Amino acid sequence: MIWLRALAVWLIMMAAETVHGILRTVLLAPQVGDLRARQIAFFTGSAIILGTAYLFINWIRARSFKELLVIGLMWMLLTLGFEAAIGIYGFGFGWERIIAEYDPRSGSLMLFGLFVLVLAPLIAFRLRRGQ
């Protein structure tokens, strides 16, 4: 049941991140350029991920370090698959373009976003436990 709940929360995150990406493209990128918009979106996207994890971590009912870490890893793998599928089938990007999105040498912060995603359940649990 933990894993189905974690999957449901991931779906909520992806819906929120999809809206976030659309708003970034439509509203922010024309003002500051695509790369700068993506860099700014790293911070707002991280807040969305951490906020969603915080709201739902008790509902997921994971309690151990291992469960929380595995959920974060599951979210990361699902996200990589989702991003690749959208990139290839939705936008017609090749693997080179998709991989480049995760290369910090080009100014991209997406790789760091994956770290936030992996750690989000642990951070949310610790924050909730402190209440």
At 85-129, the pLDDT tens digits run 999 999 899 999 899 889 999 999 999 999 999 999 999 999 998
pTM of the model: 0.93
**Contact in structure between 122 and 72 (CB atoms under 8 Å):** yes
Instruction: Place 131 in a pLDDT band, splitting at 50, 70 and 90.
Output: low
pLDDT at 113: 95
At 4-25, the pLDDT tens digits run 999 999 999 999 999 999 999 9
- Boundaries of every domain in the chain: 2-129
CA–CA dist 125, 72 (Å, integer): 12
pLDDT at 130: 66
Q: How many C-beta neighbours within 10 Å does residue 118 have?
A: 20
